[in-house]
Structure 1
Amino acid sequence: MVSRSTVRAKAPGKINVHLGVGSLQDDGYHDVATAYQAVSLYEIVEATSAPDFSVRFTGPIASSGLSTGADNLAIRAAMALARRGRVTDGVSLSIDKHVPIAGGMGGGSADAAATLVACDELWGLHLGRDALHEIARELGADVPFALAGGTAVGTGRGDQLTPALARGQFHWVLAYADDGLSTPDVYRALDEHRALHAADIAPAHDVPTVDARVLQALRAGDASMLAEALQNDLQAPALQLRPRLVGTLELGERSGALAGIVSGSGPTVAFLCDSVESAVELQASLGAAQVMAVKVTGPVPGARLID
């Protein structure tokens, strides 16, 4: 039963303030241990009753290269929810994109999470968060966190979530790259680097863990402490594939950031600042250097309906 003809929902992008990548498994995947923080950069999904499934994109992020077919993650989310709820209707999705595409911030996952929340309301299913999380885990590693938001530790593929306490607000400036990075390419580069330098570096753990200093800094709401503990095992391969990001990191840290880190598989660089004022100044400095930059805060809630 359709409760409304159109429903809107939003879901946030994320920053990985810690990302440890385990060794390559026989199935071709890696276990990870990550600390996620949802930030105030949102994907907005409008879901309208329709006889079939479709998606279109608007907003400031160029989206001409995105698939609008059945392989699109938002379409997959809607179809999975329809199967679970035994819904025979379709949905027309309009997604206002603000999270960089292939930028390491989980934009596609946010699309899927917002679609689950919007269609659950549109179709009058009211399945509850636990059921939506089950579907989210089937869709992709970052979808459950986009649904939950806040701050959390993710293990396994990143989809096994444990909420983490974070006090206060953290101020970030995101520096966008002109083009995206393929997550499989970045993982492949990491595996190649580890194999090539096996004699010189410690072997990767099969089951990585999140650095306790990261969790302590989040609990304390201490940006300086968090800046010292930021870590991403995918940063080195991302920099290898996009060497110009080295200059972006150096520019941000010279311009007042406490620290910078490649978010996820990149190429978005997240700079942590000690105050909103320093974030404003850093955004201006990056803009003056022709680097597109956006100021955000975290943590923020996960996927929610918009009145």
Structure 2
Amino acid sequence: MAGSTQDLRERAAQVQSNGGAVAVRPASPIDRMAGDVKRMESEFARALPAVGITADRFARLAVTVLRQNADELARCEPASVLGALVTAAQLGLEPGGPLGQCYLVRYGNQCTFVMGYKGYISLARRSGEIESLIARVVYERDEFSAEYGLEDKLTHKPYMDGDPGRAVRYYAVAKYVGGGHSFVVLSRAAVEKLRNAGRSANSPAWKNWYDEMACAKAVKQLAKWMPLTTEFARAVANDETTRTDRGEDVIDVPVYSSPDQPDVPADSVNLLDDVVDAESIDGEWTTS
């Protein structure tokens, strides 16, 4: 009781010293962005496709991501953080969280939208043309073989009797409704090449979830052979890009270019310019 009384006295003295005004702690950058997110809930509702996630849930997830990554995101231009969240909303993907569908990654003072492989899988399943899409890691003690030709074949038997060793390959496989499949395999060297070519090469996402990010690269490579829906194509185009506009019509612009590239109309952008022809056979990396 004595402690609380003393606290009240100190509070009263502080109010008096401010001429009767209550001292308020200045809002942090994250607090201000969290407030913006809550005020944008109606815009998120307009952006979200009908895929089950509500605007309220999306806004709560967004605030959680801001809090969990406060040290990094507080150093970003707020408009770029909100822009990345709008991109996630347009795609109907949950930012951060246990699903790992997409990430908010700092690049300089800008927030970059980065796709996760589970986000690609979620979008693929919505198309109605893909029966299944998986991405997996191959460890050095696993039994693994891949053959490209008239009858592509892939065999992967995981090592289950202890430490499987380090990750050496990553692959993605798509099976199509009505039959048929396609797959792509990337060596560790191939992943590093793709990683270093991107804006998020040294981001916390790669440092904390390397395998998940590498699997996303494999899925993105596989996109060349997959029937692309508008949403999936948007995801490919918006991966590792930044947007900073916050106008009332921001939701209506489907595709945004990265800051170092000119803006291109959504209907003329080549969505797969950054997809490299890649194969990994017997551990060798080749490009064409």
Please give the TM-score of this superposition, normalised by the length of structure 2: 0.31
- Looking at secondary structure, tell me which structure has more strand per residue: 1
Largest Rg, 1 or 2: 2
Higher relative contact order (CA 8 A, sep 6+): 1
Please give the TM-score of this superposition, normalised by the length of structure 1: 0.29
